[in-house]
Amino acid sequence: MTFTQWIEATTLSETLRSIRWLWQWAETVHFIGLTLLIGFVGFLDLRLMGFMRGVPISAAKKFMPWAIFGFALNVVTGLSFFLTFPARYTDNGAFFAKMLFIIVAGLNALFFETRLGARVLAMGPNDDPPMSFKIVGTLSIVSWLAVLYFGRMLPYLWQGIL
């Protein structure tokens, strides 16, 4: 029995498959989650890159709980997709590319929070951010847009790689 078959045989997977319209509602919530995530993270990223002057970086960061909320919605709904039809994902290259970019974006955010976080408070609302901030902001927005790209292209790219 493969890993995919094992997941499909679990009671949870069977139950999810039996709920009518679950997939469609989960997709809708997944789209709302990605919109919140890209909207709020993108706003902070633009400020880190030096745009949106006049907004203190610490103020843009105050929206992050909503970005995390959007991400949490997508973890839950994403898991429901995976558990419902694991075979669509376990041999799909775009899925692995998507997971890779989530990890890159996550590590980048962690680096910003732990290593650069203390410098944020010292900055004024109109300050040009240091190069490290610009790099973090650019890497963040590029990674999240890559997550979106590989997610939406998942049915069309690199299926059946295993």
Partner 1 sequence: MEETQFMKVMTWLQDSSIAIWVAESETIWAYPTMLTLHTFGLAILVGSNAVIDFRLLGFSRETPIPPLKKLFGPMWVALAINATTGVLLFMSGARVKGLVIMLYVKLTFVVLALIVLLQIRRIVFDSETRPEVATLPRASWLAALSLCLWAAATLSGRMMAYWDWSFGEY
Query: Which one, 56 or 130, has the nearer CB to partner 1?
Result: 56
d(CA 4, CA 128): 50
Using H for helix, E for strand and C for coil, what is the string for 65-110?
HHHHHHHHHHHHHHHHHHHHCCHHHHCEHHHHHHHHHHHHHHHHHH
Per-residue tokens: 79: 């898991």
Confirm or reject binding of residue 149 to partner 1 (CB under 8 A): yes
Confirm or reject binding of residue 159 to partner 1 (CB under 8 A): no
Closest distance to partner 1 from the beta carbon of 93 (Å): 13
Using the contact rule CB under 8 A, the part of the chain among 4-12, 75-83, 105-113, 147-155 near partner 1 is: 147-155
Confirm or reject binding of residue 36 to partner 1 (CB under 8 A): yes
Using the contact rule CB under 8 A, the part of the chain among 30-38, 80-88, 107-115, 128-136 near partner 1 is: 30-38
Please check whether residue 63 is in contact with residue 30, taking contact to mean a CB–CB distance below 8 angstroms: no
DSSP 100-152: HHHHHHHHHHHHIIIIIHHHHTT--TTPPPPHHHHHHHHHHHHHHHHHHHHHH
Confirm or reject binding of residue 63 to partner 1 (CB under 8 A): yes
In degrees, rounded to 5, the angle at the alpha carbon of residue 102 between the alpha carbons of residues 101 and 104 is 60
Confirm or reject binding of residue 53 to partner 1 (CB under 8 A): yes
Using the contact rule CB under 8 A, the part of the chain among 4-12, 34-42, 80-88, 104-112 near partner 1 is: 34-42
> Which residues lie near partner 1 (CB under 8 A)?
24, 27-28, 31-32, 34-40, 42-43, 51-56, 58-60, 62-63, 66, 125, 145, 148-149, 152-153, 155-157
